[in-house]
Amino acid sequence: MTLPLPLPPCSNRDGVNSCDHFDYASTMASTLLAPVKTERDILEHSMYEDDPNANTQLPNEVGSEPRWGPRHRGAQELAELYSPGKRLQELVCVVLCCTLCVTAGLLMAKYIRPDGFLLLAAIAGVLTADFLSGFVHWAADTWGAVDLPLIGKNFLRPFREHHIDPTSITRHDFIETNGDNFAITIPVLARIVWQLATYDVNEINEKFHWISYWYLCCIFVAMTNQIHKWSHTYFGLPAWVVCLQEWHIVLPRRHHRIHHVAPHETYFCITTGWLNWPLEKLHFWYILENIIEALTGCKPRADDMKWAQKRS
């Protein structure tokens, strides 16, 4: 690996070999600054979403069974498991969540004032949403199987489908994209509306920072899969969405490609992606997987690998 800075000549000052210190500092710097996945990793181990005509298909892959995309046999099988019952549940959750969100926003409007702590509470809410997106995504990608009762088809299936056909999300409508995330926020939003409707003014003013924290967290949790869908959309995005991506207020497209490099073991946060780099450098997911494997004997991503291999 090349070092980002040239090495200076070694000097011996006060009996201390400064070269040792510099080597250590350089190693630390190169470890921290090293890209999590190189351009070559991304090119060779992920699908070319910005190239729907597959013009950049590698020569050794031409003519072989599809490794990713809508022609992948496993992806087709998973897409067929989306049921009308699941669709109805998603529709009900989207309507309920939108109603609660608008009601809470209207009730909160008269309490909002310029305040540094309010801004901090809002940022903390967004960070919490980003971490939760990473944790749920990591858990669903890494453990469990599609044939598990109840959660398999309803919850884990879209995660498996997404790895072998990442562009499928761009063909899902608003309800299929957002139904599950909207559902998660309903209990918290219902509590916020209940607090705003039943507490007296002093009590609401006292708790307003917490209410704002949970409200922002819910908005970003609810929007996570829509943001994720935008990160896979290389054509026809509105200019304001592209600006939000380029300013890294929501998950940027190039940033999310790092997760889509097989075997999909890093960069799980998909709301803003702000926590991906620090969690990767702390080996957070790796450590967690090792602890769980030691305790249960389960292999991480075994089911994900099984679906990836169903190519014909």
Report the residue closest to Zn ion, judged by CB: 141
Q: How far is the CB of 262 from Zn ion (least distance, A)?
A: 11
d(CA 298, CA 263): 16
| Residues at the contact surface with Zn ion, assessed by CB under 5 A | 141, 264
For Zn ion, give the closer residue by CB, 214 or 285: 285
168 contacts 69 by C-beta, under 8 angstroms = no
Q: How far is the CB of 28 from Zn ion (least distance, A)?
A: 30
For Zn ion, give the closer residue by CB, 142 or 195: 142
Other Cβ atoms closer than 10 A to 35: 9
Name every residue whose Cβ is closer than 8 Å to that of residue 19 and which is 6 or more positions away in sequence.
Answer: 10, 11
Q: How far is the CB of 287 from Zn ion (least distance, A)?
A: 19
d(CA 108, CA 49): 41
Q: How far is the CB of 169 from Zn ion (least distance, A)?
A: 7
Q: How far is the CB of 220 from Zn ion (least distance, A)?
A: 17
58 contacts 29 by C-beta, under 8 angstroms = no
- 69: alpha, beta or left, given left = phi > 0 and alpha = psi -120 to 50? left
For Zn ion, give the closer residue by CB, 124 or 242: 242
What is the enclosing helix (H) or strand (E) of 16?
Answer: strand 16-17
For Zn ion, give the closer residue by CB, 154 or 177: 177
For Zn ion, give the closer residue by CB, 141 or 280: 141
What is the enclosing helix (H) or strand (E) of 142?
Answer: helix 116-142
Beta bridge partners of residue 155, listed in sequence order: none
Q: How far is the CB of 113 from Zn ion (least distance, A)?
A: 38
For Zn ion, give the closer residue by CB, 90 or 265: 265
Beta bridge partners of residue 16, listed in sequence order: 13
